[in-house]
Structure 1
Amino acid sequence: MGSCIVCGASTDGRICDTHEEDVAFEFRGRSPNQLTSGRFYRGSVDGFAEFGVFVDIGDNVTGLLHRSEVPGRVESLDWDAGDEVYVQVTGVHDNGNVDLGWSIRQTERDFRGHLVDDPSAESNAELPDEDDSDDAAADPAETDESADATQADADSETETADGGTPVADDANEFEFGEDDDAESAESEPAESEPDEEAPAADAEADDTDETSAEEAPQRVSIADLADHVDERVAVEGEITSARQTSGPTVFELADETGTVDCAAFVEAGVRAYPETDAGDVVRIVGDVERRRGELQVETEDLTVLDGQAADDVSTRMEDALTEEASPNVTELLADDPAVEAIHDDLVDAATAIRRAVVDSRPVIVRHTTTVEGYVAGTAIERALLPLIREKHARSDAEYHYVDRRPLDDAFYTIDDATGDVTDMLEAAERHDEKHPLFVLVGAGSTSESTDAIDLLDMYDVDTVAVDGGYTDEAAGADVLVSPTDAGEDPVNTGALGAQLAAFVNDDVREDLYHLPAVAYWEELPAAYADLADTTDYSRETLENLRDAIALEAFYQSYEDKRELISDLLWGEADDSLITHVSAQFRERLDTELATAEPHLRVRGENGVTFEVLDVDDYTHQYDFPPVDLLLDALHRRNDRADVLVGVSGDELRVRSDDSVDVRAVGGRIAEELPEAGVLTRGARDGRIEFLSGEQAAVVDAVVSGIADQLA
Structure 2
Amino acid sequence: MGSCIICGTSVDGRICDLHQEDVVFEFRGRRPDELTPGRYYRGSVDGFAEFGVFVDIGDSVTGLLHKSELDQRLDSLDWEPGDTVFVQVKSVRDNGNIDLGWSIRQGESEFRGTLIDDPDNDGAILKEDADETDESDSTVESSDSGVGQPEPRETDADSGDEQDAGTETEESDETAESEAEPEAEQTPEAAEPAAQSQAEAVEATISELGDKVGSLVRIEGEIADARQTSGPTVFELRDETGTVDCAAFKEAGVRAYPEVDEGDVVRIEGEVEERRGELQVETEALVILEDEERDAVTERMEDAMLQRARPDALAPLAEDPAVEAVTDSLLDAATAIRRAVLEGRPIVVRHSATADGYVAGVAIERATLPLIRDEHQSNDAEYHYFDRRPLEGSVYDMDDATGDLTQMLSNQERHGEKFPLFVFVAAAGTTESLDGLELLDVYGTRRVVVDERAVDDEIVDEVDTLVAPSREGDAETTATALAATIAAGVNEDVHADLEHLPAVSFWEDTPDAYIDLASEAGYDAETVDDIREAIALEAYYQSYEDKRELIIDLLFAEQTDDATGLAGHVSEQFRTKMETEVETAEENLTEETVDGEPILVLDTEAYTHRYEFPPTELLLDELFRRHRNDAVALVGFDTDEAFVRSDADIDVRAVVEQASADAPEAGLDARGAREGRIEFLAGERDAVQDAVLAALAAELSTAPTA
TM over 0.5, shorter chain: yes
Q: From 416, 420, 424, give the equivalent of 2:404.
A: 420
Please list the CA deviations of residues 245-289 of structure 1 after superposition, one character each: whole Å capped at 9, or x if unmatched. Answer: 111111111111111111111111111111111111110011111
What does residue 329 of structure 1 align with?
Answer: 313
1:351 aligns with 2:349: no
Q: Find the aligned partners of 1:652 and 1:484 in 2 and give their Cα distance.
A: 28
Task: Decide whether the 8 Å contact of 1:92 with 1:98 is kept in 2.
Answer: yes
| Counterpart residue number, 2:544 | 558
Which residue matches 2:128? 130
Q: In the TM superposition, what whole-angstrom CA distance separates every residue of 1:456-480 from its partner, at most 9, and x where no partner exists?
A: 1111110001111342122321111
Check the 8 A contact 2:25/2:39 in 1, yes or no.
yes
Say if 1:19 and 1:273 are closer, same or farther in 2 by CA, change over 3 A. Answer: same
Given the alignment, which residue of 339, 344, 349 partners 2:323? 339
- Indicate the residue corresponding to 1:693 in structure 2: 683
Match of 2:592 in 1: 603
Q: In the alignment, which residue of structure 2 is the partner of 1:272?
A: 256
Q: 2:634 matched to which residue of 1?
A: 644
State the match for 1:548 in structure 2. Answer: 534
Aligned partner of 1:187 in structure 2 is none
What does the per-residue CA deviation read over 1:221-248, in whole Å, with 9 as the maximum and x for residues that have no partner? 1111111111111001111111111111
Q: Distance in 2 between matches of 1:396 and 1:520?
A: 34
Please report how far the alpha carbon of residue 121 of structure 1 lies from its aligned counterpart in structure 2 after TM superposition: 4.5
Instruction: Please name the residue that 1:372 is paired with.
Output: 356
> 8 Å contact 1:36–1:89 — kept in the other structure?
yes
Deviations for 1:415-462, whole angstroms, at most 9, x for unmatched residues? 111121122222222222211110011112211111111111111110
Q: 2:394, 2:674 within 8 Å by CA — same for their partners in 1?
A: no
Q: How does 1:385-464 map to 2 (within 5 A)?
A: 385-464=369-448
1:505 aligns with 2:494: no
3-state DSSP of counterpart to 2:387? strand
Kept after mapping to 2: 8 A contact 1:484/1:490? no
Q: Distance in 2 between matches of 1:555 and 1:42?
A: 38
Matched residue SS, 1:406 = strand
Equivalent residue for 2:79?
Answer: 79
The separation in 2 between residues aligned to 1:106 and 1:614, in whole angstroms, is 57
- In structure 1, the residue matched to 2:90 is 90
Q: CA deviation at 1:208?
A: 8.0
1:189-200 mapped onto 2 (5 Å cutoff): none
Go from structure 1 to structure 2 and tell me whether the alpha carbon gap of 1:469 and 1:523 turns closer, same or farther (over 3 Å shift).
same
Residues of 2 paired with 1:156 and 1:219: CA distance? 38
Counterparts of residues 49-88 of structure 1 (less than 5 Å): 49-88=49-88
Query: Shift of the alpha carbon at 1:579?
Result: 2.4
Deviations 1:75-94 (A, max 9, x none): 11121112222223333333
Structure 1 residues 140-179: aligned runs within 5 Å: none
Residues of 2 paired with 1:589 and 1:90: CA distance?
A: 40
> Matched residue of 1:405: which SS?
strand
Q: CA deviation at 1:29?
A: 3.4
Counterpart in the other structure of 2:514? 528
- Report the more deviating stretch, 601-610 or 536-545: 601-610
1:660 aligns with 2:639: no
Matches of 1:156 and 1:607 in 2, distance apart?
Answer: 107
Matches within 5 A, 1:566-605: 566-574=552-560, 575=563, 576-605=565-594
Q: May I ask how many residue pairs the two structures share in their alignment?
A: 657
User: Matched residue of 1:599: which SS?
Assistant: coil
CA distance in 2, matches of 1:600, 1:153: 95
Deviation of the 1:155 alpha carbon: 12
Q: In 1, Cα distance between the equivalents of 2:576 and 2:32?
A: 40
Q: For 1:160-239, list aligned pairs within 5 A.
A: 215-239=199-223
Does the 8 A contact of 1:40 with 1:87 survive in 2?
Answer: yes
Distance 1:546 1:4, change over 3 A: farther
Partner of 1:313: 297
Q: CA deviation at 1:96?
A: 2.1
Q: Summarize the Cα distance change of 1:586–1:685 in structure 2 as closer, same or farther, 3 Å threshold.
A: closer
**CA distances 1:606-663 after superposition (whole Å, capped 9, x unpaired):** 2322222232332222222222222222222345433221222211111123332212
Partner Cα separation in structure 2 for residue 153 and residue 528 of structure 1: 76
1:160 — aligned with what? none
- Aligned partner of 1:623 in structure 2 is 612
1:704 to 2:694 alignment: yes
Residue 536 of structure 1, CA deviation: 1.2
Counterpart secondary structure, 1:653: strand
Paired with 2:404 and 2:254, the residues of 1 have a C-alpha distance of 30
Asked if structure 1 preserves the Cα contact closer than 8 Å seen for 2:311 and 2:490, the reply is yes
Q: Secondary structure at the match of 2:356?
A: helix
| Deviation for aligned residue 1:154 | 14
Secondary structure at the aligned position of 1:323 is classed as helix
TM-superposed CA distance for 1:397, in Å, is 1.1
- Do the aligned partners of residues 710 and 334 (structure 1) sit closer, same or farther apart at CA in structure 2, a change above 3 Å counting? same
Q: Secondary structure at the match of 1:240?
A: strand
1:500 shift after superposition = 1.5
Letter in structure 2 aligned against 1:653: F
Correspondence 1:91-130 to 2 at 5 A: 91-122=91-122, 124=123, 126-130=124-128
Counterpart pick for 1:634 among 623, 641, 648: 623
Distance 1:21 1:149 in 2: 35
What is the CA distance between 1:119 and its match in structure 2?
A: 4.0
CA distance in 2, matches of 1:699, 1:479: 40
Write the letter of the residue equivalent to 2:380. Answer: D
Give the secondary-structure state (helix, strand or coil) at the position aligned to 1:560.
coil
Deviations 1:551-602 (A, max 9, x none): 2222222221222211221112231322232223223333333343333333
Q: Show CA shifts across 1:132-172 (max 9, x none).
A: 57xx79xxxxx9x99x9899999999xxxxxxxxxxxxxxx
Long gaps (5+) in structure 2:
148-186, 702-706
Partners of 2:428 and 2:449 within 8 A in 1: yes
Mark the runs of 5 or more structure 1 residues left unpaired by the alignment.
138-142, 158-202
Q: Is the 8 A contact 2:200 2:216 kept in 1?
A: no
Q: CA deviation at 1:28?
A: 3.4
TM-superposed CA distance for 1:540, in Å, is 1.2
Q: Deviations over 1:273-326 (max 9, x none)?
A: 111111111100111111211111111110011122112211211111110011
Taking structure 1 as the reference length, the TM-score comes to 0.86
**In structure 2, C-alpha distance between the alignment counterparts of 1:676 and 1:234, rounded to whole Å:** 69
Alpha-carbon offset, residue 41 of structure 1: 2.7
CA distance in 1, matches of 2:443, 2:51: 22
1:46 equivalent in alignment to 2:36: no
SS at match of 1:603: strand
Distance 1:129 1:290 in 2: 29
Report deviation, 1:671: 3.1
Shift of 1:2: 4.4
Distance in 2 between the 1:156 and 1:303 partners? Answer: 38
Shift of 1:413: 1.3
